[in-house]
Amino acid sequence: MVKNKKQDQHNVLAQNRKARFNYAISETFEAGIALTGTEIKSVRAGQITIGDGFVTIHDDNALLTNVHIAPYTAGNRFNVDPLRTRRLLLHKREIRQLEKAVTEPGVTIVPLKVYLKHGFAKLLIGIGRGKKQYDKRDDIKRRDQERELGRRLKH
């Protein structure tokens, strides 16, 4: 099992570092992404940005919005719009869970990271509740204290 975890870490293609700072993530789901041929080639090359992305639920489908996948350089006429809405591949019960969670005020579905698993592009999404400014300050303070403690233990 440790080998698979190590393998997944090497295959991380994009990560939303601000997500855990701006949102308190309560639950995560792994979803597949429905991509075209040239899009998957760009994703494998690491040409994907998920920082501004979010997930919406519409007609029992989970849709990934505002994620930029750069056009494949050798794709010519087969390239599609880089910011198009893409369908996420989830089980119906997972979609229902997400739909129920989003009905609460202040809750959103945030993409956390994109990685390859057995040759398929996967997206880790999380149910996040927006943090207040004082929560963010507490996180920064705690991180600085841990860093300082690590420095002292090192010496």
Q: Which CATH architecture has domain 2-154?
A: Beta Barrel (2.40)
CB 48 within 8 A of CB 114: yes
Rounded Cα gap, residues 127 and 98, in angstroms: 7
Low-confidence ranges of the chain (pLDDT < 50): 1-2, 8
> Which residue in 43, 20, 23 sits closest to 33, CA to CA?
43
- pLDDT (0 to 100) of residue 8: 47
CB 68 within 8 A of CB 49: yes
CB 130 within 8 A of CB 22: yes
In single-letter form, the type of residue at position 103 comes to T
CB 63 within 8 A of CB 154: no
**HSE-CB of 88 using CA atoms within 13 angstroms:** 31
Rounded Cα gap, residues 144 and 121, in angstroms: 35
Rounded Cα gap, residues 55 and 66, in angstroms: 9
- pLDDT (0 to 100) of residue 78: 79
- pLDDT (0 to 100) of residue 111: 94
Rounded Cα gap, residues 129 and 48, in angstroms: 24
Instruction: Name every residue whose Cβ is closer than 8 Å to that of residue 21 and which is 6 or more positions away in sequence.
Output: 131, 136, 139
- pLDDT (0 to 100) of residue 1: 40
Beta strands in the chain (DSSP E): 12-15, 23-33, 48-49, 54-58, 61-65, 68-69, 86-89, 107-117, 120-130
